[in-house]
Amino acid sequence: MKKIPYTIFGFDHCEMYVGNAKQASHYYQSTMGFNLVAYQGLETGNRETVSYVLNQGLINLVLTSPLVKNTEIGKHIDRHGDGMKAISFLVDDATIAWDESIKRGAQSEFEPKTLEDENGSIIMSAIRTFGDTVHSFIERKKYNGIFLPGFKDIDKSKKIQNTDLVHIDHVVGNQPSGEMKTVCKFYENVFGWHRFWSVDDKDINTKYSSLRSIVMANNNEKIKIPINEPADGLKISQIQEFIDYYDDSGVQHLALSTKNIIKTVEKMRENGVDFLPTPKSYYEKLEKRIGTIDEDIAELSRLGILVDKDENGYMLQIFTKPLQDRPTLFFEIIQRKGSNSFGKGNFKALFESIEREQQKRGNL
């Protein structure tokens, strides 16, 4: 296929549909150190929806709730619970990006449209991807405002303790059994992306469950979207548990990078973020598996941080528990020290930890 005629510079933002955006925004500010930077709702003339924009480093997280009954957002929340609706890409041309995607077989969510306010104009468009999830294209070269036209700056009096998060490393999509390859094909055909990394059920399995995963990346590899599906095991895979509660495919986790995972996790734990526990036995074998690293293993053990390596270096990672009552979306905190891997060496320990939580929920 011919070359993709537009450029994706990186993630622009991720938008979640939630039941109570006001309270959710408080959670992400007070526990994860995001700053509330923009708002739209009744006070800005929006009669049907309210959105809070949270920022830290290069990460923009938008939380949106309906203000009235019978909205698409309300239906989304009823079916899926709080969840990730849109993964938005910053592009050089949102019209060409949409045209090309449609030509290559994508379904439109909305056609290119121009939004304007006193700070300039942006062009945005969107296409559908797995489940009810969408990818929007944002072109903002003629815009100087804080987020998008129609959003009001928030004058902050509240001091938020930053947790040193830097950017979105990857966003993961969970698919029902047997659909992973079809979704990866979609990313190949519609976007011209390539397979960056993959694991199969022989690599990742516990006594109870296993998964397959293929990481899709765009040309400049600024965007990485791992696509998972459950594989057969003795009991219900954690991917299947997600599918059951989300009632569809959807975004399983957002991985946020930091330059100092020990500091970040320390602060988040103090602030009340719940992370998946890692057994002490994991750290007994760590040095043998990974070799010498800069971090103190006792510190990593105290905080529950996992480590993996590949031929280029190592990486440190940890996963939160689900961020809402349904066992669906969670976040990962990641620090890369040379490694581009997705933590294959940790999947077993991670799965066993998730399964202990699944057991508590009566879903294993």
Binding site for Fe ion (CB under 5 A): 255, 332
Q: How far is the CB of 255 from Fe ion (least distance, A)?
A: 4
DSSP of 281-303: HHHHTHHHHH---SS-HHHHHHH
Q: Pick between residue 26 and residue 337 the one whose CB is nearest to Fe ion.
A: 337
Q: How far is the CB of 201 from Fe ion (least distance, A)?
A: 17
Q: How far is the CB of 253 from Fe ion (least distance, A)?
A: 6
Residue 92: burial class (beta carbons within 10 Å; 0-12, 13-18, 19+): middle
Q: Pick between residue 139 and residue 357 the one whose CB is nearest to Fe ion.
A: 357
Find the length of the chain.
364
- 347 phi/psi in degrees, rounded to 5: -60, -40
Report the 10 Å Cβ neighbour count for 128: 15
Q: Which two tokens stand for residue 72?
A: 């698409």
CA 262 to the chain's CA centroid = 21
Q: How far is the CB of 332 from Fe ion (least distance, A)?
A: 4
Q: How far is the CB of 254 from Fe ion (least distance, A)?
A: 9
Q: How far is the CB of 340 from Fe ion (least distance, A)?
A: 12
Q: How far is the CB of 344 from Fe ion (least distance, A)?
A: 11
Residue sitting closest to Fe ion (CB): 255
Say whether 50 sits in a helix, a strand or coil: strand
CA 363 to the chain's CA centroid = 23
Q: Pick between residue 147 and residue 242 the one whose CB is nearest to Fe ion.
A: 242
Q: Pick between residue 255 and residue 261 the one whose CB is nearest to Fe ion.
A: 255
Question: Is there a contact between 285 and 308 (Cβ–Cβ < 8 Å)?
Answer: no
Distances 65 to 31, 55, 85, 227 between C-alpha atoms, Å: 20, 18, 12, 27
Q: Pick between residue 92 and residue 203 the one whose CB is nearest to Fe ion.
A: 203
In single-letter form, the type of residue at position 334 comes to I
Q: Pick between residue 227 and residue 255 the one whose CB is nearest to Fe ion.
A: 255
Q: How far is the CB of 203 from Fe ion (least distance, A)?
A: 15
Q: Pick between residue 126 and residue 227 the one whose CB is nearest to Fe ion.
A: 227
> How many Å apart are CA 108 and CA 120, to the nearest integer?
25
Q: How far is the CB of 293 from Fe ion (least distance, A)?
A: 20
Report the 10 Å Cβ neighbour count for 280: 9
Q: Pick between residue 112 and residue 226 the one whose CB is nearest to Fe ion.
A: 226
Question: Is there a contact between 353 and 347 (Cβ–Cβ < 8 Å)?
Answer: no
Q: Pick between residue 332 and residue 355 the one whose CB is nearest to Fe ion.
A: 332
Please, where are the H alpha helices in the chain?
21-32, 72-80, 94-103, 180-191, 238-246, 261-271, 281-284, 286-290, 297-303, 344-360
**Rg of the chain taking only CA atoms, in angstroms:** 20
